[in-house]
Amino acid sequence: MAKHTIVLIPGDGIGPEVTRAARRVLEAAGLSVEWVELPAGASALEQGCENVLPQRTVAAITAHKVALKGPVTTPVGKGFKSVNVQLRQKLNLYAAVRPVRNLPGIKTRYEGVDMVIVRENTEGLYSGIENEIVPGVVTSLKVASRLACTRIARYAFRYATRRHCKSITVFHKANIMKLSDGLFLECARKIQEEEYPNIEYQELIIDAGCMRLVQDPAHLDVLLMENLYGDLVSDLCAGLVGGLGVVPGSNIGDDAAVFEAVHGSAPDIAGKGIANPLASVLTSSLMLETLGHPKEAQLLDRAVRAAVAAGLGAAEPGVWTDVDLLLGILATQPRPLVVARSLMARWRLYLADSYYGSLGHAGPAAWDVLEGRYALCVLFEYAATLGVIDVAYTDPRGARDDYRGLWGADQYPCLSRYDGLAAVRVNDLGAAILHDPGALPGIGLPMPRG
| Distances in whole angstroms, Cα of residue 441 to Cα of each of 331, 388, 446 | 14, 10, 15
Is 12 one of the annotated active-site residues of the chain?
Answer: no
For residue 140, list its beta bridge partners: 130
β-pairing verdict for 130-134 and 137-140: antiparallel
CA dihedral 247, 248, 253, 258 (to 10 degrees): 140
Active-site residue identified among 81, 207, 216, 272: 207
DSSP label of 65: S
| Phi, psi dihedral angles at 349 (to 5 degrees) | -60, -40
At 26, is the secondary structure helix, strand, or coil? helix
**Residue-by-residue DSSP string for 335-404:** HHHHHHHHHHHHHHHHIIIIIHHHHT--SGGGHHHHHHHHHHHHHHHHHHHHT-EEEEES-TT---HHHH
Q: Which helix (H) or strand (E) holds 142?
A: none
Nearest alpha-carbon partner for 381 in 411, 358, 401: 411
Task: Answer yes or no: 166 catalytic.
Answer: no
272 noted as active-site residue: no
Active-site choice (231, 324, 382, 412):
231
Active-site residue (options: 173, 181, 201, 374): 173
Tell me if residue 173 is catalytic: yes
Of 12, 69, 94, 126, the active-site residue reads: 126
Residue 344 burial (C-beta neighbours within 10 Å; 0-12, 13-18, 19+): middle
Residue 133 CA to residue 362 CA, distance in Å, equals: 65
Active centre residues (catalytic): 126, 173, 207, 231
